Amino acid sequence: MLTNICVFVSGGGTNLQALIDAQKSGIIKSGRISLVISDKKDAYALVRAKENGIKTRVLIKKKAESKDEYEDRIEAVLRENNIDLIVLAGFMRILSGRFTGRHKNRIINVHPALIPSFCGEGFYGLKVHEAALAYGVKVSGATVHFVNEVPDGGQIIYQKAVEVQDGDTPEILQKRIMEQAEWILLPKACELVSHKIQTGEL
């Protein structure tokens, strides 16, 4: 039985595309992306999913709704689809400890820096690369980790360093880290964790 994977997205879905490509090429062989959940109805990641025959759901947080109510709606969709593993691929919401506690060692995230540097609440997207460049680091990179109640605080699965070059802008550094680290590490971690779920090691 393949591990059933759900990818959470909010934007363009480049990391989702890396996962889809890795599944097609056989890098991910112990799991199958069976669902993509977006918190934004116009996320381009949804187009990528549909083009590849992957089921999608859009779950937007309503103004009157509490975080618990919103996460309960997500939970119901995960149960309906028998999801075993959640992959956060550019998902811009922080999940509560209540939610992550129900899915211990079943949620992974990619962060565009070498944790524990430039991580935690407020560090996401270009903000991470802006902070790294402002600090003057010579090496940055990406980290794939398990998700727990602490933002970017879960156990590290893989890390890869990427050189920072003279003249880098946050956008240039972001692209290099995606190409040289995120798009390599996330599929690799996805396969490792899928295999461990499949074999009962996790």
Residues with catalytic annotation? 111
Tell me the two tokens of residue 11: 């934007």
Tell me the two tokens of residue 102: 């129900």
Task: Give the β-pairing of 31-38 and 3-9.
Answer: parallel
Q: Measuring CA to CA, how many Å separate 54 from each of 7, 9, 45?
A: 10, 13, 11
Burial of 185 (0-12, 13-18, 19+ CB in 10 A): buried
Angle of CA points 76, 77, 78, to nearest 5°: 90
Tell me the two tokens of residue 115: 């944790």
Alpha-helical runs (H) found in 52-181: 67-80, 97-102, 126-135, 170-177
Rg over alpha carbons for the chain, rounded to the nearest Å, is 16
Q: Residues 6 or more apart from 41 whose CB is under 8 A from it?
A: 58, 60
